[in-house]
Amino acid sequence: MASPHRAVDILAAFHALIVDLPLVGQNVFKGRVWDYDNTPSHALFLGASQADTTNTQVTDEDQLIRDEITVVGPEEELDKKLLEVHAEAYVALMADLTLGLSYVQEIAFIGMTEPEYIEQSRRPILQAVFTWRVTYRHSYTDPGN
């Protein structure tokens, strides 16, 4: 059953495409990761969106998806691990530029934030946010259609 807003379904499709990948398994969450034992992991959030409403029949919208990747391990290996987890997700997502949704026009990788260390841990933990843009179309009068 479709949600009342296509952005929610886009986030769910994004999740479905990267859950169970070999490096992360079930460690793909909708929301922030607080238990760093579940790493490497992806934490998915809706980001900003921007709509083009110049056409009164349909609206084309760019929805950002924020993918916060967290890795744990020896400090000298963290950058490599972070980018390996991202690369695995990148390949899975780019295999279907519509996320399997008929109203999605394309998905594009936008970039990543500077990786940051988490200080509150006894082990080195590194996080970075990878941002994706999903362009989709919906009814001018209803974002769920």
Q: What is the pLDDT of residues 5-56, one digit of tens each?
A: 899 999 999 999 999 999 999 999 988 766 778 899 999 999 999 988 787 7
Q: What is the CATH number of the domain that holds 16?
A: 3.30.70.1700
Q: What is the pLDDT of residues 108-136, one digit of tens each?
A: 999 999 999 987 667 899 999 999 999 99
Structure confidence at residue 144 (pLDDT): 74
Q: Is residue 65 part of a domain?
A: yes
Residue 48: give the domain boundaries. Answer: 6-139
Residue 123 CB contacts under 8 Å (≥ 6 apart), including other chains: 36, 72, 73
Q: Is residue 144 part of a domain?
A: no
**Neighbour-count burial for 105-144, b at 16+ CB within 10 Å, e otherwise:** eebeeeeeeeeeeeeeeeeebbbbbbbbbbbbebeeeebe
Q: Is residue 39 part of a domain?
A: yes
Number of structural domains in the chain: 1
